[in-house]
Amino acid sequence: MALDQTPPLNSLGFAKAPSETRVVVAMSGGVDSSVVAAMLAKEGYDVVGVTLQLYDHGAALAKKGACCAGLDIHDARRVAEDMGFPHYVLDYENVFKDAVIDEFADSYLGGATPVPCIRCNERVKFKDLLETARDLDADCMATGHYIQRKMGAQGAELHAAADANRDQSYFLFSTTPDQLNYLRFPLGHLPSKDETRALAAKYGLRVADKPDSQDICFVPNGDYASVIRKLRPEAADPGNIVDVDGNILAQHEGVIHYTIGQRRGLGIGGLADPLYVVRLDADRKEVIVGPKAMLATRTIPVREINWLGDTPLMSRAEWPISVRVRSTRPPTDAILRPLSDTTAEVELLTPEEGVSPGQACVFYDPDSSRIFGGGWIHRG
């Protein structure tokens, strides 16, 4: 009887030696992706590092703590040199502006609260960069995201990171099944970021103590208004702050300075009960304010759904799930009612405040760590 000569699966899930497995690592220059690249290189994989230049290199040189800026490109290159694998920098500036920055500005002007990091993963990193990895004959692409890929009965599944404080599933809900088959997330199982930094120190990486990036990469110091003012000057036009009946209460210096749920800085005094921003109307240049009760939302219209369940979304009239409507909030119990393959209505069992068009609504299995995809909140 012939013996099965199939070699065991390596740590990336391929039945061949690490040295025969090419993996492209998306390197931002931060500690997470640097550790992934170093770890795989140490394990003997054929590693190729790729960094995307996403916006003006000259302006970025002076800005620390942002993904894919000039200093970070330099840091990624040094890690590759130290670990002995090739590294390439790809100029995606035009793609990034067209696919991410312009929509960010337009969404804000439309009164939405966009999440550009999701669009960047969806339209740049997991689309164009992933195709580049295939062009380089890589078996897979690895990233430093804190999320888990597990094999289930129907194939690869997306699961939340082991460390809930680092979990990035909210930003990766739009990962398609085809992309998930190709992607690997070597850090998702780690119990804490301390483990990642310990690995960086173990590999002698110069970025071991580098701070995490906090801001959106093209928004210095979190100043959304200045970025949008440059892209869409009309956004800084003054207008009125009005109540829900249209009564003028005060003036403002541009709708870009306000977000849904904002209470402070409205310049409205002498009221018995505080008012909150409940809606933005960029066309009319109006900031609409109302009582806190108006921020509570129970029913959420969702579109552009990416479904990651084992059976089709429309195979049920209702799905009991948990949803996350902001990256900073824990999942909450809800009922998902599909309207089509890409649209649905989500009913929150407990109303949430500050649900805003332009944010993502991410679907979770209430009984496990699995992510069922998600969609984009709109006004309906």
Query: Which residues are marked as active site?
Result: 120, 217
- Report the Cα 51 to chain-centroid distance in Å: 17
Closest-CA residue to 23 (of 39, 57, 46, 52): 46
Sheet holding 286-290, edge to edge: 248-252, 239-243, 286-290, 276-281
Closest-CA residue to 273 (of 243, 228, 250): 243
Q: In whole angstroms, give the CA distance from residue 7 to residue 15.
A: 5
CB 321 within 8 A of CB 366: yes
Q: In whole angstroms, give the CA distance from residue 307 to residue 300.
A: 17
Residue type, 302: V
CB 305 within 8 A of CB 375: yes
Which helix (DSSP H) or strand (DSSP E) does residue 280 occupy?
Answer: strand 276-281
